[in-house]
Amino acid sequence: MPHTYFDTLIIGSGLAGLTLALNLAESKKVGLITKQALLDGASGWAQGGIAAALSENDSPESHIRDTINAGAGLCDEEITRSVLESGPKAIQWLIEQGVPFTRDQKNNTGYHLTREGGHSTRRVIHAADTTGQAVQRTLGDKVLNHKNISVLENHIAIDLITSRKLGNTDTNKNCCFGAYILDNQSGRVKTISAQNTILAAGGAGKVYLYTTNPDTATGDGIAMGWRAGCHIANMEFIQFHPTCLYHPHAKSFLISEAVRGEGGILKLPDGKCFMSLHDERAELAPRDIVARAIDFEMKKRGLDCVYLDISHKPKAFLKEHFPFIYARCLELGIDITRQPIPVVPAAHYTCGGIVTNLNGKTNLEHLYAIGETAHTGLHGANRLASNSLLECLIFGQAAAKDIFNQEPIPTTKLPQWDESRVSHADEEVIISHNWDELRRFMWNYVGIVRTNKRLQRAQHRIKLLHEEIHEYYSNFRVTSDLLELRNLVDTADLIVQSAILRHESRGLHFSLDYPDTQSHIQNTILKI
Protein backbone atom coordinates (compact mmCIF):
# COMPACT_ATOMS: atom_id res chain seq x y z
CA MET A 1 0.00 0.00 0.00
CA PRO A 2 1.33 3.50 -0.85
CA HIS A 3 2.67 5.66 1.98
CA THR A 4 3.14 9.34 1.16
CA TYR A 5 4.54 12.27 3.14
CA PHE A 6 3.73 16.00 2.84
CA ASP A 7 4.71 18.94 5.00
CA THR A 8 1.03 19.90 4.97
CA LEU A 9 -1.98 17.76 4.07
CA ILE A 10 -5.11 19.72 3.11
CA ILE A 11 -8.38 17.78 2.92
CA GLY A 12 -10.72 19.84 0.72
CA SER A 13 -10.30 22.11 -2.29
CA GLY A 14 -12.70 24.98 -1.67
CA LEU A 15 -11.60 28.57 -1.22
CA ALA A 16 -10.19 27.91 2.27
CA GLY A 17 -8.06 25.00 1.08
CA LEU A 18 -6.82 26.76 -2.06
CA THR A 19 -5.96 29.93 -0.12
CA LEU A 20 -3.98 27.95 2.44
CA ALA A 21 -2.16 25.91 -0.22
CA LEU A 22 -1.04 29.00 -2.14
CA ASN A 23 0.11 30.76 1.01
CA LEU A 24 2.22 27.75 2.09
CA ALA A 25 3.58 26.45 -1.18
CA GLU A 26 6.59 28.73 -1.61
CA SER A 27 8.43 26.78 1.09
CA LYS A 28 6.24 23.79 2.00
CA LYS A 29 5.42 20.57 0.19
CA VAL A 30 1.61 20.57 0.10
CA GLY A 31 -0.76 17.69 -0.63
CA LEU A 32 -4.34 18.68 -1.47
CA ILE A 33 -7.05 16.00 -1.40
CA THR A 34 -10.35 16.50 -3.23
CA LYS A 35 -13.23 14.04 -3.61
CA GLN A 36 -13.99 14.84 -7.23
CA ALA A 37 -12.32 17.39 -9.53
CA LEU A 38 -10.41 20.30 -8.00
CA LEU A 39 -13.20 22.85 -8.50
CA ASP A 40 -16.24 20.74 -7.61
CA GLY A 41 -16.76 22.03 -4.05
CA ALA A 42 -19.38 24.41 -2.67
CA SER A 43 -17.19 27.54 -2.96
CA GLY A 44 -17.59 27.49 -6.72
CA TRP A 45 -21.37 27.55 -6.34
CA ALA A 46 -21.39 30.87 -4.47
CA GLN A 47 -23.25 33.42 -6.56
CA GLY A 48 -23.56 36.57 -4.48
CA GLY A 49 -20.02 37.62 -3.60
CA ILE A 50 -17.71 38.50 -0.72
CA ALA A 51 -18.62 41.03 1.97
CA ALA A 52 -16.03 43.60 3.07
CA ALA A 53 -16.03 47.29 4.02
CA LEU A 54 -14.44 48.60 0.80
CA SER A 55 -16.36 51.80 0.13
CA GLU A 56 -15.64 55.19 1.73
CA ASN A 57 -19.33 55.18 2.68
CA ASP A 58 -18.81 51.98 4.69
CA SER A 59 -16.67 50.95 7.66
CA PRO A 60 -15.54 47.78 9.44
CA GLU A 61 -17.58 48.96 12.45
CA SER A 62 -20.75 48.93 10.37
CA HIS A 63 -19.92 45.48 8.98
CA ILE A 64 -19.20 44.20 12.50
CA ARG A 65 -22.50 45.59 13.77
CA ASP A 66 -24.48 43.94 10.95
CA THR A 67 -22.70 40.60 11.50
CA ILE A 68 -23.36 40.60 15.25
CA ASN A 69 -27.01 41.56 14.72
CA ALA A 70 -27.48 38.68 12.28
CA GLY A 71 -25.65 36.31 14.64
CA ALA A 72 -28.31 36.80 17.34
CA GLY A 73 -25.86 37.37 20.19
CA LEU A 74 -23.58 34.38 19.61
CA CYS A 75 -20.83 35.95 17.49
CA ASP A 76 -17.42 36.01 19.13
CA GLU A 77 -16.70 39.75 19.10
CA GLU A 78 -12.91 39.38 19.08
CA ILE A 79 -12.99 36.96 16.15
CA THR A 80 -15.60 39.02 14.30
CA ARG A 81 -13.57 42.20 14.63
CA SER A 82 -10.35 40.50 13.58
CA VAL A 83 -11.90 38.91 10.48
CA LEU A 84 -13.90 41.89 9.26
CA GLU A 85 -11.14 44.42 9.81
CA SER A 86 -8.92 42.18 7.66
CA GLY A 87 -11.55 42.01 4.91
CA PRO A 88 -10.31 44.77 2.57
CA LYS A 89 -6.74 43.42 2.62
CA ALA A 90 -8.00 39.91 1.81
CA ILE A 91 -10.04 41.23 -1.13
CA GLN A 92 -6.94 43.05 -2.39
CA TRP A 93 -5.06 39.74 -2.31
CA LEU A 94 -7.72 38.18 -4.54
CA ILE A 95 -7.54 41.12 -6.94
CA GLU A 96 -3.76 40.67 -7.11
CA GLN A 97 -4.29 36.99 -7.94
CA GLY A 98 -6.36 38.12 -10.94
CA VAL A 99 -9.96 37.49 -9.84
CA PRO A 100 -12.16 39.38 -12.38
CA PHE A 101 -14.54 41.25 -10.07
CA THR A 102 -17.26 43.31 -11.77
CA ARG A 103 -16.09 46.87 -12.39
CA ASP A 104 -18.02 50.10 -11.78
CA GLN A 105 -16.17 53.36 -12.37
CA LYS A 106 -18.97 55.33 -10.72
CA ASN A 107 -18.10 53.69 -7.40
CA ASN A 108 -15.17 55.09 -5.42
CA THR A 109 -13.72 51.57 -5.15
CA GLY A 110 -13.70 51.01 -8.90
CA TYR A 111 -15.84 47.89 -8.40
CA HIS A 112 -19.58 47.27 -8.31
CA LEU A 113 -20.84 46.55 -4.82
CA THR A 114 -24.22 44.97 -4.20
CA ARG A 115 -26.34 44.72 -1.06
CA GLU A 116 -27.74 41.57 0.50
CA GLY A 117 -30.09 40.70 3.36
CA GLY A 118 -28.94 41.86 6.79
CA HIS A 119 -26.42 44.37 5.42
CA SER A 120 -27.01 48.06 6.11
CA THR A 121 -25.23 49.17 2.94
CA ARG A 122 -23.73 47.95 -0.33
CA ARG A 123 -20.53 46.08 0.50
CA VAL A 124 -20.60 42.80 -1.44
CA ILE A 125 -17.95 42.68 -4.18
CA HIS A 126 -18.76 40.17 -6.88
CA ALA A 127 -17.97 38.78 -10.33
CA ALA A 128 -21.43 39.14 -11.93
CA ASP A 129 -23.49 36.33 -10.35
CA THR A 130 -20.79 33.62 -10.44
CA THR A 131 -18.32 34.96 -7.89
CA GLY A 132 -17.38 31.62 -6.38
CA GLN A 133 -16.69 30.14 -9.78
CA ALA A 134 -14.50 33.11 -10.78
CA VAL A 135 -12.48 32.92 -7.55
CA GLN A 136 -12.08 29.14 -7.68
CA ARG A 137 -10.94 29.11 -11.30
CA THR A 138 -8.40 31.84 -10.69
CA LEU A 139 -6.86 30.22 -7.62
CA GLY A 140 -7.33 26.70 -8.97
CA ASP A 141 -5.19 27.45 -12.03
CA LYS A 142 -2.40 28.68 -9.76
CA VAL A 143 -2.64 25.61 -7.55
CA LEU A 144 -2.52 23.20 -10.49
CA ASN A 145 0.56 24.91 -11.89
CA HIS A 146 2.51 25.16 -8.63
CA LYS A 147 5.49 22.81 -8.37
CA ASN A 148 5.13 22.37 -4.60
CA ILE A 149 1.41 21.45 -4.60
CA SER A 150 0.29 17.90 -5.38
CA VAL A 151 -3.44 17.70 -6.15
CA LEU A 152 -5.00 14.28 -5.60
CA GLU A 153 -8.38 14.35 -7.35
CA ASN A 154 -10.98 11.61 -6.86
CA HIS A 155 -9.60 10.83 -3.39
CA ILE A 156 -11.74 10.80 -0.24
CA ALA A 157 -10.42 10.86 3.32
CA ILE A 158 -11.48 7.95 5.52
CA ASP A 159 -10.21 8.95 8.96
CA LEU A 160 -7.50 10.94 10.68
CA ILE A 161 -4.52 9.13 12.21
CA THR A 162 -3.96 10.33 15.77
CA SER A 163 -1.76 9.40 18.71
CA ARG A 164 -4.80 8.13 20.63
CA LYS A 165 -5.78 5.83 17.76
CA LEU A 166 -2.21 4.55 17.65
CA GLY A 167 -2.48 3.65 21.34
CA ASN A 168 -0.26 6.45 22.64
CA THR A 169 -1.85 7.53 25.93
CA ASP A 170 1.38 8.65 27.61
CA THR A 171 0.44 12.31 27.24
CA ASN A 172 -2.73 14.33 27.65
CA LYS A 173 -2.18 15.79 24.20
CA ASN A 174 -3.80 14.08 21.22
CA CYS A 175 -1.76 14.70 18.07
CA CYS A 176 -2.72 14.26 14.41
CA PHE A 177 -0.14 12.61 12.12
CA GLY A 178 -2.08 12.43 8.83
CA ALA A 179 -4.96 10.46 7.37
CA TYR A 180 -6.05 7.33 5.54
CA ILE A 181 -7.22 8.26 2.03
CA LEU A 182 -9.25 6.16 -0.43
CA ASP A 183 -8.27 6.45 -4.09
CA ASN A 184 -11.66 6.18 -5.79
CA GLN A 185 -10.21 5.09 -9.11
CA SER A 186 -7.96 2.26 -7.93
CA GLY A 187 -9.91 1.36 -4.80
CA ARG A 188 -6.65 1.38 -2.80
CA VAL A 189 -6.29 3.04 0.60
CA LYS A 190 -3.25 5.30 0.95
CA THR A 191 -1.53 6.25 4.18
CA ILE A 192 -0.55 9.93 4.09
CA SER A 193 1.50 11.43 6.91
CA ALA A 194 2.10 15.14 7.41
CA GLN A 195 3.55 17.65 9.85
CA ASN A 196 0.17 19.41 9.81
CA THR A 197 -3.24 18.27 8.61
CA ILE A 198 -6.04 20.68 7.70
CA LEU A 199 -9.74 19.83 7.46
CA ALA A 200 -11.21 22.12 4.81
CA ALA A 201 -13.87 19.75 3.52
CA GLY A 202 -16.86 22.11 3.58
CA GLY A 203 -20.29 21.75 5.14
CA ALA A 204 -23.05 19.16 5.44
CA GLY A 205 -25.98 20.37 3.32
CA LYS A 206 -26.52 16.90 1.82
CA VAL A 207 -27.79 15.68 5.20
CA TYR A 208 -31.08 17.32 4.11
CA LEU A 209 -33.41 16.31 1.30
CA TYR A 210 -33.45 19.80 -0.23
CA THR A 211 -30.19 21.72 -0.38
CA THR A 212 -28.37 24.29 -2.47
CA ASN A 213 -25.10 22.43 -1.88
CA PRO A 214 -23.22 20.18 -4.33
CA ASP A 215 -23.12 16.42 -3.81
CA THR A 216 -19.73 16.74 -2.13
CA ALA A 217 -21.18 18.49 0.97
CA THR A 218 -21.49 15.41 3.18
CA GLY A 219 -19.97 16.69 6.43
CA ASP A 220 -16.73 14.73 5.96
CA GLY A 221 -14.42 17.12 7.81
CA ILE A 222 -16.75 17.63 10.75
CA ALA A 223 -17.41 13.90 11.14
CA MET A 224 -13.72 12.96 10.89
CA GLY A 225 -12.79 15.65 13.39
CA TRP A 226 -15.46 14.43 15.82
CA ARG A 227 -14.32 10.81 15.59
CA ALA A 228 -10.73 11.96 16.21
CA GLY A 229 -11.69 13.86 19.37
CA CYS A 230 -12.29 17.45 18.17
CA HIS A 231 -14.70 19.66 20.08
CA ILE A 232 -17.82 20.58 18.08
CA ALA A 233 -19.92 23.73 18.51
CA ASN A 234 -23.36 25.02 17.47
CA MET A 235 -24.34 22.34 14.98
CA GLU A 236 -28.02 23.17 15.55
CA PHE A 237 -27.58 26.33 13.47
CA ILE A 238 -28.18 25.16 9.90
CA GLN A 239 -28.88 28.03 7.55
CA PHE A 240 -31.68 27.49 5.06
CA HIS A 241 -31.35 29.70 2.00
CA PRO A 242 -34.78 31.25 1.44
CA THR A 243 -34.74 31.11 -2.35
CA CYS A 244 -33.79 27.86 -4.06
CA LEU A 245 -35.30 27.51 -7.54
CA TYR A 246 -38.38 25.26 -7.43
CA HIS A 247 -38.35 23.24 -10.65
CA PRO A 248 -38.23 19.46 -11.28
CA HIS A 249 -35.13 19.82 -13.48
CA ALA A 250 -33.25 22.41 -11.39
CA LYS A 251 -30.99 20.46 -9.04
CA SER A 252 -29.80 22.54 -6.07
CA PHE A 253 -29.92 25.83 -7.98
CA LEU A 254 -30.14 28.81 -5.66
CA ILE A 255 -31.37 32.27 -6.58
CA SER A 256 -28.79 34.65 -5.15
CA GLU A 257 -29.46 36.86 -2.16
CA ALA A 258 -28.43 39.72 -4.45
CA VAL A 259 -31.69 39.39 -6.41
CA ARG A 260 -33.56 40.57 -3.33
CA GLY A 261 -30.79 43.08 -2.65
CA GLU A 262 -31.41 44.62 -6.08
CA GLY A 263 -35.17 44.89 -5.58
CA GLY A 264 -36.64 41.39 -5.93
CA ILE A 265 -40.00 40.98 -4.15
CA LEU A 266 -41.39 37.79 -2.62
CA LYS A 267 -45.00 37.08 -3.55
CA LEU A 268 -47.74 34.53 -3.06
CA PRO A 269 -49.25 32.80 -6.13
CA ASP A 270 -51.97 35.48 -6.28
CA GLY A 271 -49.31 38.21 -6.49
CA LYS A 272 -49.64 39.50 -2.92
CA CYS A 273 -46.49 40.53 -1.04
CA PHE A 274 -46.03 39.06 2.44
CA MET A 275 -42.56 39.79 3.85
CA SER A 276 -43.54 43.09 5.48
CA LEU A 277 -46.02 41.12 7.63
CA HIS A 278 -43.10 39.16 9.12
CA ASP A 279 -40.33 41.78 9.45
CA GLU A 280 -40.05 45.53 8.91
CA ARG A 281 -36.98 44.93 6.71
CA ALA A 282 -39.14 42.86 4.37
CA GLU A 283 -37.04 41.18 1.64
CA LEU A 284 -33.81 42.52 3.17
CA ALA A 285 -34.28 40.74 6.51
CA PRO A 286 -31.62 38.12 7.41
CA ARG A 287 -31.96 34.71 5.85
CA ASP A 288 -33.38 32.91 8.89
CA ILE A 289 -36.30 35.33 9.08
CA VAL A 290 -37.02 35.17 5.35
CA ALA A 291 -36.78 31.37 5.29
CA ARG A 292 -39.19 31.01 8.25
CA ALA A 293 -41.60 33.50 6.67
CA ILE A 294 -41.68 31.51 3.44
CA ASP A 295 -42.03 28.23 5.36
CA PHE A 296 -44.91 29.72 7.38
CA GLU A 297 -46.77 30.95 4.29
CA MET A 298 -46.28 27.66 2.43
CA LYS A 299 -47.56 25.55 5.34
CA LYS A 300 -50.42 27.92 6.15
CA ARG A 301 -51.71 27.94 2.57
CA GLY A 302 -50.62 24.46 1.43
CA LEU A 303 -48.27 25.86 -1.23
CA ASP A 304 -45.50 24.05 -3.08
CA CYS A 305 -43.53 27.29 -3.45
CA VAL A 306 -43.68 31.08 -3.39
CA TYR A 307 -42.41 33.50 -6.06
CA LEU A 308 -39.53 35.94 -6.28
CA ASP A 309 -40.33 38.73 -8.71
CA ILE A 310 -37.73 41.09 -10.17
CA SER A 311 -39.39 41.49 -13.57
CA HIS A 312 -40.04 45.19 -12.84
CA LYS A 313 -36.32 45.87 -13.42
CA PRO A 314 -35.07 46.64 -16.96
CA LYS A 315 -34.09 43.62 -19.03
CA ALA A 316 -30.61 45.02 -19.68
CA PHE A 317 -30.04 45.46 -15.94
CA LEU A 318 -31.01 41.85 -15.18
CA LYS A 319 -28.87 40.41 -17.98
CA GLU A 320 -25.89 42.46 -16.82
CA HIS A 321 -26.16 41.74 -13.09
CA PHE A 322 -27.55 38.19 -13.16
CA PRO A 323 -26.39 36.60 -16.43
CA PHE A 324 -26.03 33.11 -14.96
CA ILE A 325 -29.41 33.13 -13.20
CA TYR A 326 -31.08 34.66 -16.27
CA ALA A 327 -29.62 32.02 -18.60
CA ARG A 328 -30.33 29.05 -16.33
CA CYS A 329 -33.92 30.10 -15.68
CA LEU A 330 -34.46 30.68 -19.40
CA GLU A 331 -33.24 27.14 -20.10
CA LEU A 332 -36.02 25.94 -17.80
CA GLY A 333 -38.67 28.09 -19.44
CA ILE A 334 -38.66 30.95 -16.93
CA ASP A 335 -37.98 34.43 -18.30
CA ILE A 336 -37.08 36.45 -15.20
CA THR A 337 -37.51 39.70 -17.15
CA ARG A 338 -41.21 38.94 -17.59
CA GLN A 339 -42.30 36.48 -14.90
CA PRO A 340 -41.58 35.66 -11.24
CA ILE A 341 -39.26 32.84 -10.19
CA PRO A 342 -40.74 29.91 -8.18
CA VAL A 343 -38.65 29.41 -5.03
CA VAL A 344 -38.51 27.34 -1.82
CA PRO A 345 -36.11 27.33 1.16
CA ALA A 346 -33.30 24.73 1.13
CA ALA A 347 -30.43 23.77 3.44
CA HIS A 348 -27.54 26.05 2.56
CA TYR A 349 -24.83 26.55 5.19
CA THR A 350 -23.50 24.86 8.32
CA CYS A 351 -22.81 27.61 10.87
CA GLY A 352 -21.42 25.23 13.48
CA GLY A 353 -18.48 22.87 13.18
CA ILE A 354 -15.09 22.04 14.68
CA VAL A 355 -14.06 24.53 17.35
CA THR A 356 -10.96 26.50 16.34
CA ASN A 357 -9.03 29.53 17.52
CA LEU A 358 -8.07 32.64 15.55
CA ASN A 359 -5.44 30.63 13.63
CA GLY A 360 -7.73 27.75 12.71
CA LYS A 361 -6.17 25.39 15.29
CA THR A 362 -8.32 22.67 16.85
CA ASN A 363 -7.89 21.04 20.25
CA LEU A 364 -5.76 18.32 18.58
CA GLU A 365 -2.08 19.09 18.08
CA HIS A 366 -1.11 19.71 14.42
CA LEU A 367 -4.73 19.60 13.23
CA TYR A 368 -6.47 22.67 11.79
CA ALA A 369 -10.00 23.25 10.50
CA ILE A 370 -10.91 26.11 8.16
CA GLY A 371 -13.87 27.17 6.04
CA GLU A 372 -17.35 25.76 6.54
CA THR A 373 -15.93 22.75 8.41
CA ALA A 374 -14.90 25.04 11.27
CA HIS A 375 -16.71 26.93 13.99
CA THR A 376 -14.69 30.11 14.41
CA GLY A 377 -17.26 32.23 16.23
CA LEU A 378 -17.79 34.59 13.29
CA HIS A 379 -21.29 33.49 12.30
CA GLY A 380 -22.96 33.06 15.68
CA ALA A 381 -26.52 31.76 15.44
CA ASN A 382 -26.94 32.91 11.83
CA ARG A 383 -24.42 33.73 9.10
CA LEU A 384 -24.64 37.17 7.51
CA ALA A 385 -24.83 36.84 3.72
CA SER A 386 -21.46 36.71 1.88
CA ASN A 387 -19.36 36.49 5.05
CA SER A 388 -18.45 32.84 4.37
CA LEU A 389 -16.00 33.32 1.49
CA LEU A 390 -14.31 36.08 3.47
CA GLU A 391 -13.93 33.67 6.41
CA CYS A 392 -12.30 31.12 4.08
CA LEU A 393 -9.76 33.71 2.94
CA ILE A 394 -8.89 35.06 6.37
CA PHE A 395 -8.50 31.71 8.10
CA GLY A 396 -6.65 30.16 5.17
CA GLN A 397 -4.08 32.94 5.48
CA ALA A 398 -4.04 32.82 9.30
CA ALA A 399 -3.46 29.05 9.38
CA ALA A 400 -0.57 29.44 6.93
CA LYS A 401 1.13 32.02 9.18
CA ASP A 402 0.70 29.78 12.22
CA ILE A 403 2.14 26.76 10.40
CA PHE A 404 5.19 28.79 9.34
CA ASN A 405 5.83 29.67 13.00
CA GLN A 406 5.82 26.04 14.18
CA GLU A 407 8.82 23.93 15.06
CA PRO A 408 8.91 20.74 12.94
CA ILE A 409 8.00 17.48 14.69
CA PRO A 410 9.70 14.10 14.18
CA THR A 411 8.06 11.93 11.53
CA THR A 412 6.12 8.97 12.91
CA LYS A 413 5.95 5.52 11.36
CA LEU A 414 2.24 5.00 10.61
CA PRO A 415 0.53 1.62 10.25
CA GLN A 416 -0.94 0.68 6.88
CA TRP A 417 -4.67 0.40 6.38
CA ASP A 418 -5.80 -3.13 7.29
CA GLU A 419 -8.54 -4.69 5.18
CA SER A 420 -7.46 -8.30 5.60
CA ARG A 421 -10.67 -9.27 7.40
CA VAL A 422 -13.24 -7.60 5.16
CA SER A 423 -14.89 -8.53 1.87
CA HIS A 424 -16.62 -6.79 -1.01
CA ALA A 425 -20.20 -5.74 -0.26
CA ASP A 426 -22.90 -7.87 -1.85
CA GLU A 427 -25.85 -5.47 -1.49
CA GLU A 428 -24.83 -1.83 -1.91
CA VAL A 429 -28.51 -0.87 -2.32
CA ILE A 430 -28.54 -0.68 1.50
CA ILE A 431 -26.37 2.42 1.29
CA SER A 432 -28.72 4.28 -1.08
CA HIS A 433 -31.76 3.32 1.00
CA ASN A 434 -30.18 4.55 4.23
CA TRP A 435 -28.99 7.75 2.53
CA ASP A 436 -32.53 8.50 1.34
CA GLU A 437 -34.11 7.68 4.71
CA LEU A 438 -31.65 9.93 6.56
CA ARG A 439 -32.17 12.95 4.32
CA ARG A 440 -35.96 12.65 4.44
CA PHE A 441 -36.34 12.40 8.20
CA MET A 442 -33.78 15.17 8.74
CA TRP A 443 -35.85 17.42 6.46
CA ASN A 444 -39.12 16.50 8.18
CA TYR A 445 -37.94 16.43 11.82
CA VAL A 446 -34.87 18.71 12.03
CA GLY A 447 -35.73 21.41 9.50
CA ILE A 448 -36.62 25.09 9.67
CA VAL A 449 -39.08 24.64 12.57
CA ARG A 450 -38.40 22.00 15.25
CA THR A 451 -40.09 20.35 18.25
CA ASN A 452 -38.85 18.05 21.00
CA LYS A 453 -40.91 15.17 19.63
CA ARG A 454 -39.51 15.58 16.11
CA LEU A 455 -35.95 15.72 17.41
CA GLN A 456 -36.45 12.59 19.52
CA ARG A 457 -37.85 10.74 16.50
CA ALA A 458 -34.82 11.77 14.46
CA GLN A 459 -32.44 10.70 17.24
CA HIS A 460 -34.05 7.25 17.40
CA ARG A 461 -33.71 6.77 13.63
CA ILE A 462 -30.09 7.94 13.70
CA LYS A 463 -29.24 5.39 16.41
CA LEU A 464 -30.58 2.56 14.24
CA LEU A 465 -28.71 3.82 11.18
CA HIS A 466 -25.51 4.16 13.23
CA GLU A 467 -25.69 0.50 14.22
CA GLU A 468 -26.40 -0.70 10.70
CA ILE A 469 -23.66 1.42 9.11
CA HIS A 470 -21.09 0.44 11.73
CA GLU A 471 -21.74 -3.24 11.03
CA TYR A 472 -21.48 -2.60 7.28
CA TYR A 473 -18.27 -0.56 7.71
CA SER A 474 -16.70 -3.29 9.87
CA ASN A 475 -17.36 -6.13 7.43
CA PHE A 476 -16.95 -4.72 3.93
CA ARG A 477 -14.35 -2.82 1.95
CA VAL A 478 -14.87 0.92 2.06
CA THR A 479 -16.34 2.83 -0.87
CA SER A 480 -16.88 6.57 -1.30
CA ASP A 481 -20.65 6.08 -0.97
CA LEU A 482 -20.25 4.21 2.32
CA LEU A 483 -17.82 6.81 3.68
CA GLU A 484 -20.13 9.69 2.79
CA LEU A 485 -23.12 7.96 4.37
CA ARG A 486 -21.10 7.26 7.52
CA ASN A 487 -20.09 10.93 7.71
CA LEU A 488 -23.64 12.16 7.07
CA VAL A 489 -25.06 10.03 9.87
CA ASP A 490 -22.37 11.24 12.30
CA THR A 491 -23.07 14.84 11.28
CA ALA A 492 -26.84 14.38 11.58
CA ASP A 493 -26.31 13.02 15.09
CA LEU A 494 -24.29 16.13 16.02
CA ILE A 495 -27.03 18.42 14.65
CA VAL A 496 -29.74 16.63 16.62
CA GLN A 497 -27.69 16.43 19.83
CA SER A 498 -27.02 20.17 19.64
CA ALA A 499 -30.65 21.02 18.86
CA ILE A 500 -31.89 18.98 21.85
CA LEU A 501 -29.51 20.81 24.17
CA ARG A 502 -30.72 24.30 23.16
CA HIS A 503 -33.85 25.15 25.15
CA GLU A 504 -34.65 28.39 23.35
CA SER A 505 -35.22 29.80 19.88
CA ARG A 506 -32.27 31.78 18.59
CA GLY A 507 -31.13 32.65 15.09
CA LEU A 508 -31.46 29.63 12.82
CA HIS A 509 -32.74 27.32 15.54
CA PHE A 510 -36.48 27.76 16.04
CA SER A 511 -38.35 25.45 18.44
CA LEU A 512 -42.11 25.46 18.95
CA ASP A 513 -41.48 24.06 22.46
CA TYR A 514 -39.08 26.89 23.36
CA PRO A 515 -40.21 29.88 21.27
CA ASP A 516 -38.52 32.54 23.46
CA THR A 517 -34.90 33.64 23.42
CA GLN A 518 -33.05 33.30 26.74
CA SER A 519 -31.15 36.21 28.24
CA HIS A 520 -28.26 33.86 29.02
CA ILE A 521 -26.12 33.45 25.89
CA GLN A 522 -23.96 30.38 25.38
CA ASN A 523 -22.59 28.11 22.65
CA THR A 524 -23.54 24.46 22.42
CA ILE A 525 -20.29 22.52 22.83
CA LEU A 526 -20.05 18.76 22.25
CA LYS A 527 -17.06 16.71 23.42
CA ILE A 528 -16.31 13.00 23.23
Q: Which residues are catalytic?
A: 287
**Which stretch of DSSP H or E encloses residue 492?**
helix 480-501
Residue 503 Cα distances to 34, 65, 452, 485, angstroms? 38, 26, 10, 29
Strand runs (DSSP E) across 351-499, as ranges? 353-355, 367-369, 374-375
DSSP SS3 for 84: helix
Residue 127 in contact with residue 135, Cβ under 8 Å? yes
Residues 6+ apart with CB under 8 A from 168: none
Helices (H), 25-101: 60-70, 77-85, 87-97
DSSP 358: T
Strand runs (DSSP E) across 259-302, as ranges? 265-267
Residues 6+ apart with CB under 8 A from 352: 232, 233, 234, 235, 236, 237, 375, 494, 498, 524
Residue 350 in contact with residue 383, Cβ under 8 Å? no
**Order of strands across the sheet that contains 113-114:** 50-51, 124-125, 113-114
Q: Tell me the C-alpha distance between 22 and 306, whole Å.
A: 43
Q: What angle do CA 242, 246, 247 make, to 5 degrees?
A: 160
Residues 6+ apart with CB under 8 A from 519: none
State the Rg of the chain over Cα: 22
Strands 232-233 and 113-114: unpaired
Helices (H), 105-189: 131-144
* Percent helix, strand and coil across the chain, each to the nearest 5: 35, 20, 45
Residues 6+ apart with CB under 8 A from 158: 179, 180, 181, 182, 189, 417, 478, 483
Q: Tell me the C-alpha distance between 65 and 285, whole Å.
A: 15
DSSP 110: S
Dihedral of alpha carbons 360, 176, 168, 352, sign: positive
Residue 235 Cα distances to 106, 213, 349, angstroms? 42, 17, 11
